[in-house]
Amino acid sequence: MRRLLWLLPPVAVLVVFFGYPLALVLHQSFVGDDGFVGLANWEAVLASAEFRRALVRTALLAVAATAGCLVLGVFLALVIAFAPFPGVRAISRLVDVVLAFPSFLIALAFTFLYGSAGVLNAALASGACLTLLLCMNEFGIVLFVGAKDVITSPMLVYTKAIVTFDYPAACVVAVVNVVFSGALYALHRWVFAKGRAVLLWTRRSRAVAIALFAVLFTVVVVAPLAMIVLASVAGSWNGVLPSNLTGEHLASAVSGDAVASAVVSAQTAVIAALTAVVLGTWLALGPAKAPAGVRRVLDAAAHLPLAVPSVVVGLGLLVAFSRSPLLLNGTRWIVLVAHLVILLPFTFSVVSAAQRRVDPLPAAVAESLGASALHVLWRVRVPVLLPAMSASASLGLALSMGEVGATIMLYPPDWRTLPVSVFALTDRGQVFAASASTVLLLGTTLAGLVALGLVRPRAAER
């Protein structure tokens, strides 16, 4: 029991800043405008044609996106793994970097690019569940595309809470979204735990596989990035390619409000990522000797924010901390807390996976020689996890730099991140300026990732 007591700080963070706000969202969904508790909000929302359309469109978009991800993702992964060619390592790194890109970048890029201007094994099924979950919770792409008739569940939460200030209805939609997301996440964990992956790879022509890989990689990764760069130097875009190339947009992006927003994004990302790494490592190391049931509960609790849309996280914090005793609404701290909650599952997952692969013998030997628990922790257990901690910091930094769902619901005027500024520009129709600011965001993010990448080899040497 004493070993579990030191887990109280990170668990308390999860309870206070994630569990408590979600509980308030659930409670608020039953409270009417007159203050009485009842089912009136639920009856009104469930009977709404807008809600039913949003739910159906969310499911259809998620299923279609998941099918595309399975077909393209599995094929690209198999080519990289089993049909190596010169430069494949660099390409695989670039594919990893795409994970760090904010979702609205893809939406903005595809607007320029395509707009009017075997047997299913257990690993594949598990990945399909997780992809479906992430697609259902996606918010940034729908927000930035601006398709007025494509209202998904996360978008409806944002509209009800921020546009119409109908918090009870927003809470009802949020609860429904969380129920569906939680069910998908539970299915993902069950399939992943029960199934065994069976590798299926047929021998095909290597040339054909590489050619198909090149086409898909160009369409999915290279073309969107190229469109963003081209749009950032475009004076106009009336044909297939831009015309009247200019550097004015990039010059404006590296001065004034855009730089201020980039600084805010960098500060938010660094603070949230480092805090998430500390808490994630704390949670990963704590239950090492705990009973299996306790480990499973802590693992599920630490991953739970992953199953909740970022707009619901923002809504919960808005409801929970807009009143005494802890008033955070209107301050930068509520944005930092939101980013921390969103990043914590990712940092915990990376460090806990590394922790499970660590040889327990050195720590056991140190304890048998009389070393204190704190000395063993600091000198034996933590050093072997430094590479994983560095990797989780990189992931956290990248995800925080591109976060928009919770931030756009919470940010005060003096703490506006760069993704929010990019949305403001696109909302005003200044897509070229938005592209230039996106290039600045990518440059800042990649600079941070490179800096952390330089630290990682030193951590591995230790």
Q: What is the DSSP letter of 299?
A: H
Supply the pLDDT for residue 258: 84
Which residue in the block uniquely carries the two structure tokens 């047997």? 119
Alpha helices in 137-256 (DSSP H): 140-145, 153-158, 167-194, 206-217, 223-232, 248-253
- Tokens representing 200 are 């299926």
Rounded to an integer, what distance in angstroms lies between the CA atom of residue 361 and that of residue 286? 17
Taking alpha carbons only, the member of 176, 161, 146 closest to residue 56 is 176
Question: pTM score, two decimals?
Answer: 0.82
What pLDDT sits at residue 295? 80
Q: What is the mean pLDDT of residues 295-300?
A: 84
Q: CB burial class (10 A; 0-12, 13-18, 19+) of residue 411?
A: buried
CATH no., domain 6-461? 1.10.3720.10
Percent of the chain with pLDDT over 70: 73
Cite the DSSP H helix spans in 290-381: 292-303, 310-320, 332-357, 361-368, 373-376
Mean pLDDT estimate for the chain: 78
Q: What is the pLDDT of residues 55-98, one digit of tens each?
A: 887 777 777 777 777 666 777 777 766 666 677 666 665 665 56
Q: What is the CA radius of gyration of the chain?
A: 23
What pLDDT shows up at residue 263? 92
Count the alpha carbons within 13 Å of 54 in the hemisphere toward its beta carbon.
27
How confident is the model over 416-437, as a mean pLDDT? Answer: 87
3-state class (DSSP) for residue 33: coil
3-state secondary structure of 31: strand
> For residue 171, what is the DSSP state?
H
More confident residue, 385 or 215: 385
Tell me the per-residue pLDDT of 340-375, one tens digit each, with 9 for 90 and over.
999 999 899 889 888 888 877 888 788 788 877 777
CA dihedral of residues 75, 80, 86, 92 (deg, nearest 10):
110
Closest to 57 measured CA to CA, from 136, 141, 163, 166: 136
pLDDT value for 266:
92
Query: Which pLDDT band, with edges at 50, 70 and 90, does 181 fall under?
Result: confident
pLDDT at site 317: 94
Judge whether 448 and 397 are in contact, CB under 8 Å: yes
What per-residue confidence (pLDDT) applies to 407?
Answer: 92
Pairwise CA distance, residues 309 & 153, whole Å: 9
CA distance linking residue 234 with residue 51, whole number of Å: 39
Alpha carbon distance, N-terminus to C-terminus of the chain: 32
Cα(49)–Cα(55) distance, integer angstroms? 10
Check pLDDT > 80 for residue 139.
Answer: no
pLDDT(381) > 90: no
pLDDT at site 148: 47
Alpha-carbon distances, residue 4 vs 284, 301, 329, 359, 389 (angstroms)? 12, 15, 33, 21, 22
3-state secondary structure of 397: helix
What token pair was written down for 342? 């969103």
Residues near 70 by beta carbon (within 8 Å), at least 6 away in sequence: 124, 127, 128, 131
Of 217-221, 256-260, 379-383, the one with minimum mean pLDDT is 217-221
**pLDDT above 90 (res 336):** yes
State yes or no: pLDDT of 6 exceeds 60: yes
Quick check: helix, strand or coil at residue 377?
A: helix
CA distance 165 to 155: 14
Residues with Cβ within 8 Å of residue 442, at least 6 apart in sequence: 101, 105, 228
**pLDDT band of 270, cuts 50, 70, 90:** very high
When pLDDT is cut at 50, 70 and 90, the band that residue 149 belongs to is low
Task: Check pLDDT > 80 for residue 38.
Answer: yes
Q: Omega before 325 cis (within 30°)?
A: yes
Angle formed by the axes of helices 257-285 and 332-357, nearest 10°:
40
Q: What does the domain layout of the chain look like in residue ranges?
A: 6-461
216-226 pLDDT, tens digit each: 677 766 777 78
Cα(142)–Cα(175) distance, integer angstroms: 20
3-state secondary structure of 115: coil
* Percent of the chain whose predicted confidence (pLDDT) is above 90: 15
Residue-level pLDDT at 344: 93
**Which pLDDT belongs to residue 373?**
73
Give the residue with greater pLDDT, 236 vs 67: 236
Among 78-92, 127-141, 162-176, the minimum mean pLDDT is found in 127-141
CA–CA separation, 462 vs 458, rounded Å? 7
Task: Specify whether the CB–CB gap between 104 and 143 falls below 8 A.
Answer: yes
pLDDT winner (highest mean) among 17-21, 113-117, 165-169, 198-202: 17-21
Split at pLDDT 50, 70, 90, the class of 388 is confident
Can you give the pLDDT at residue 83? 65
